[in-house]
Each structure stands twice: as structure tokens, then as C-alpha cells.
Structure 1
Amino acid sequence: MSRAPARKARPARGNAPPIHTRFQAWGVNHAQALVFSLGRLYRNPFGAALTLAVIAIALALPSGLWLALKNLQAASGDWDHGAQLSVFVADSVTDSALAQLAGRIQALEAVERAQPLTREDALAEFRALSGFGEALDLLDHNPLPALVLVTPVPAHQGPAEVQALARQLEALEGVTQAQVDMQWVQRLQALLEMTRRGVVLVAILLGLGVLLVVGNTIRLDILNRRREIEVAKLVGATNGFIRRPFLYGGLWLGLFGGLLALFIVGLALVLLNGPVQQLAALYGSDFRLQGPGFSGALGLLGTAVALGLGGSWIAVGRHLREIEPQ
């Protein structure tokens, strides 16, 4: 009698826990790892304080340099917008024609302001600023030409744009020369660009320093818990489960280091704001130091957390693979 082929046993359905239970267990596990990593920092206050101080100083230095550059630009009336052209006119141009010429220049799209300066105005200004008033009285005629002081709009403050505007102005009737100190403009922009790149370079180097500090801190923590990790792997713990508290430890280091860096920057602003306001008042200005603002503070905290997670991820990924139960 023929026998029917035996059917292969199938696993019973419904043994796997529902998805909401698994998601709940995943959330509880992450919360436990988050609190556990915070507790390790609390139980080692001295070592954690030293690490946080190094991270905070490394983050506060480029942030302070960036704020210093930002405040210097604001105090100087935005140095990028400092170009001005002196448009000299022929001696035959009358005062009324000079005013009409200034009006035509003012109508140009690249011009923000055109201020006419007659020969008498130029002589009076030179007399007031030079201190050679008595010598000027000996002259039988006014040697200074009339001119129009032209300020380009912010979008045309670059060296190439200012030079193009100078050529356009020289083509106008009655204009003999349009002069601008392009070398000064180029030096100014080169100085600002060099400062910006210096701040970026310092920020990159100190960011790498934060990665090394966090990575070394997590590495020492892994080595101190080597036996505990071996036992956990023996009972079936995955690398992801073991990695989780160390990653959260790097997150806490980055977050607290960023908060401490913000405190250092804020304290520096408070200490410097008073003397800066007194100095500005001597020049008739109400300038005061500007802080990082909400977006700047959020960016600093985000960068700090990213560096903390990055340093811990590198350390855990390298050293956790080397630990296997014997």
C-alpha cells in the first residue's frame, strides 16, 4: 500500500509579537540606554567635567571668532559696501549743470547716491580738514575741481563692478575722470575673505579635535567595560544593543559641551559689551555687540551633537569588533 508523502512542518503563525509590541520594546530599550548613558556621566563627574570643558572650549573658540567677524562688519557699517567714486568734471561745468549731472548719475541702476560738490564746497571742505586755511588765502584762484561723489548700490560693490561703473561714468558729457581707490577695495575684500577662511579652518581643526576627544573618551569606556561586553555577547546580545549606550554617551557629551560653549560665548559677550558700548559712544554711535541668535545657537548645538555622535560612532565601530568572548 502506497504511503502519502509526509508534509513538511510549517512554523505556527501568530508566534511573533505584534508590531506595536516590538515598537514599544524598541522605544523602551532606547530610553533605557539613554538614561543609562546619562547615569554613567553622573557617576563620574570629574572625568565628565574635564571632557565637557575641552569640548566647550573647542566649540566656543570658532563661535567667538565668527561672532567677532560679524560684529566688526556691523560696527564698520558693513565693510563690503565701502566703495565710493569721485567723478571729476570739467572747469566749464557750472553749478547748475553739476546738479543736473548728479541727477543723471543718480538715475543709473548701479548708483545708490550721487552727491554734487561744487568748487567752493570742495575748497571749504579742504580748508576745514587740511589746516592750511591761511595758505589757501594767498591763492588768487580756487585750484580744486568740482566733482560728484558716487556711492554704488550694494550689488555693485565688487572691484569688477566698480571699475565698470567708473568707465560708464567717464563716458558722460562733462566728466573728465572717475576715480576710485580700487586697491583699497581689493585689500579690504581680501582681508575679509582671509578672515572668513581662517575662521573656517580653525572651526574644522577644532571640530576634528572634538571628534578625537569624544572618540578617546568612548574608547576608554569600552575598554573599561570589556568583560561586561564579552558576557553580554555570550548571552546573545547584538552589536547594535551593545553599541547603543555608547552612542548616547557621545550624544550627551556633544549636547552638554555645546550648551557650555554657548554659556562661554554669552559670558564673553556680557563682559565685553559694556566697554564696547563706551568706546562706540565716544564716536557718537549706539553700537552694541550682537549675539549668535536663535539660529546660531541652534546651529552650534546641532554641530556639537553631530560631532559627539560621530566621535562615538567611530570609536565604537572600531573597538567593538575587536571584543569577542573567548
Structure 2
Amino acid sequence: MKRLLEHHRYALAVTVRRLIGQPFSFFSNVVVIALALTLPLLGASVLVSVQPLTQHVSANPAITVFMTPDASLEQAQAVAQEIRSRDDPVVLEVRLISKETAYELLRGNQAWRQALEVLPDNPLPHAVSVTIAADEAMATNADVLARQWQQLDGVAFVQLDSIWVQRIEALLRIGNIGLAMVTLIIALVVLAAVFNTVRMQALSLREEIAVARLVGATESFVRRPFLYQGGITCAIAALIAIGLASAALTPLNEALSGLSRTYDALFALHLPDALSLFLYVLAAISLGAFSARWSVTRHTRY
């Protein structure tokens, strides 16, 4: 165990000396990888920030249950109570809208006021507005609930904006798939950058590695400094990427603050939680070490 720790300490010291000996190459690689790693972080920040917003803004799908024209307010209240009593987990809010309330709301709209004034009485029915949770299965949930509520006593029809619901689902799905594709592309970029760097260094140290093998150096002993090089490079790049993403979010949030105020909402983009960022750095280190091992294994066989 002591010998293994000594080997790792030696490999780490060799790696640091090599990186210091080629500062421009090391710095350029770190910058390229950091810029690449910033992109998926920004994409994840947008998705993480937008997802909770769907619980508070009008993106949540609403189902409107319209009563028959001759249905009484008591019947509408009974329907609203029936929906609440079922305790469906996807139902977030149940709100009764009387025909009088709806009529006054329309009268407050200039486009509807003149049309309502020529009518002899209030033609609007009582209605129950139900807000359901926005998740991946919200279109299916909304269809099922709409069919159930259509059978309630006094209900004329149930209006479901299924197209809008499906659009929300599609946008969230596209965002997740797009982020996954960008992350895969970035991983390939990092893999290629580290692979090429280690390849060039392995070729430049060809004679030194050959001599080390002649005196008994094992394959693990030869590869270990290169693995540290790939891991350290990607670790520093990932930390810089987090800093760049955080700095990029500042002007974006300043621009979004004015827009969010027009919707009476507080919205800001933020990075994923600390555990996710730690796993992101760990994944970058693993990718760098894997790329370095692959490169040095391919180019030191002689």
C-alpha cells in the first residue's frame, strides 16, 4: 500500500512538472475544454430554472368544466366539491367561476362590452376551472380527467386545451433531448482534445518511456502520469466552466428581470445544485482520464 501511494505521488509530481514545462499548451487546452464544458452547464441552468416556473405561471394546463345553461350555482358548487373530494394528485387547484363573475370579467373587456350590452340577459353558464400539474404525462392525465368530469351531473361539456398541453410537453422533451445531444457532442470534443494532447506528449517522450520499460517500469507506472494529466486538465477546465457559466448568467438575469416583472413573477436563471456540479466535475475528470489512458495505450506500444 505504501509503495502504491509512493507511485501515485511520483506520478503526480511528474505530471505537474510536465504541465509547468508546457504552460502555453496546457493553458490553451484548459481554455478550449472549459469553453466546451460551459455550454451544457448553461443548457442545464435554463432547464433547471424553467421547470419550477411551470408550477406558478400559466403554462400549467387548465381544464374548464362548463355547466348547462339551466344549472344552478349549487350544482356547480357540487361539481367543484366532487372534483376536490377525489384528491387526484395531478389536480393543483379547483376554482368555481359563477356566471355573474364571468359576466363582469367580460364586461371589463372593451372588446366584449358592446356585444354583451345588446343581450337581454346573462348567457354565460357557471364554470369550474381546474389547474393540473405540468409534467411529462399531463396530456394523458388531462384527457382522462376530462372524460371523467364529463359524466358529472349538470356538466354540459369540458374544454381541454390539449394542443397547448402537448406543446408544453414537446418543448420540455425537446429541451432535454437537445441538452443530452449537446452534452454528448461536448464529451466527444473533450475526448478528442485530451486524446490529441496526450498523444503528442507520449510521442515526444517516446525514448524516455522506452528506457523506463527497459529498467522494469510496468505499464501502469508508464500510463499513470498521463492519466493524472488528463484528469487534472479536465478538473481545472470544469471548475473554470462553472465560473464562466455563473458569470454568463448575470447579464442574462438582468435582461430577464424586466421581462419577468411584466408578468408579475420573479424569475432568474441559476446553476444546478452543488451535488450536480460536483458530479459534473467528477464526470469531466473521468472523461479526461479515460481519454488519456486510451491515447497513451495506443501510442506507446513499441
1:200 matched residue in structure 2: 180
1:259 matched to 2:244? The reply is no
One-letter amino acid of the structure 1 residue matched with residue 95 of structure 2? Q
Q: Answer whether contact 2:55 2:134 (CA < 8 A) is retained.
A: no
1:51-200 map, 5 Å: 51-77=29-55, 82-110=60-88, 111-129=91-109, 131-153=111-133, 158-200=138-180
**Paired residues of 1:34 and 1:248 also in contact (CA < 8 A):** yes
Q: 1:3: which partner in 2?
A: none
Distance 1:109 1:70, change over 3 A: same
Give the distance between the partners of 1:138 and 1:302, measured in 2 at CA. Answer: 70
Aligned residues of 1:79 and 1:188 also touching (Cα < 8 A): no
Q: CA RMSD in A?
A: 2.0
Match of 1:293 among 259, 268, 273: 273
Q: Specify the alignment match of 1:302 in structure 2.
A: 282
- In the alignment, residue 242 of structure 1 is paired with which amino acid? V
- C-alpha change, 1:42 and 1:71, in structure 2 (3 Å) is same
Q: Normalising by structure 2, report the TM-score.
A: 0.93
- Equivalents in 1 of 2:13, 2:27: separation in Å? 18
Cα distance in 1 between the residues matched to 2:213 and 2:181: 42
Letter in 1 for 2:299: H
AA aligned to 2:76 is: L
Residue aligning to 2:11: 33
| Alignment match, 2:213 | 233
Moved more, 30-39 or 286-295: 286-295
Which amino acid is the alignment partner of residue 30 of structure 1? H
Once the two structures are TM-superposed, the CA of residue 127 in structure 1 deviates from its matched residue by 2.3
Could you tell me which runs of 5 or more consecutive residues in structure 2 were left unpaired when the two chains were aligned: none
Aligned residues: 300
Structure 1 distance, partners of 2:271, 2:287, is: 23
CA deviation profile, 1:93-127 (whole Å, cap 9, x unmatched) = 11232222211221122233221111121112222
> Residue 77 and residue 118 in structure 1: after superposition, are their counterparts in 2 closer, same or farther (change >3 A)?
same
AA matched with 1:283 = Y
| 1:273–1:289 Cα contact (<8 Å) kept | yes
| Runs of at least 4 residues off by over 3 Å | 74-81, 153-157
2:258 is aligned to 278
Taking the aligned partners of 1:29 and 1:80, their CA distance within structure 2 comes to: 60
Quote the Cα distance in structure 2 between the aligned partners of 1:237 and 1:94: 91
In structure 2, the CA distance between the partners of 1:130 and 1:80, relative to structure 1 (3 Å rule), is closer
Larger radius of gyration: 1
Q: Distance in 2 between matches of 1:57 and 1:113?
A: 44
Residue 54 of structure 1 deviates from its aligned partner by 1.1
For residues 163 and 174 of structure 2, what CA distance do their matches in structure 1 show?
16
Per-residue CA deviation, residues 238-272 of structure 1 (Å, 9 max, x unaligned), is 22211111111111111111111111111112232
Match of 1:48 among 17, 20, 26: 26
Unaligned residue ranges in structure 1 (runs of 5+): 1-22
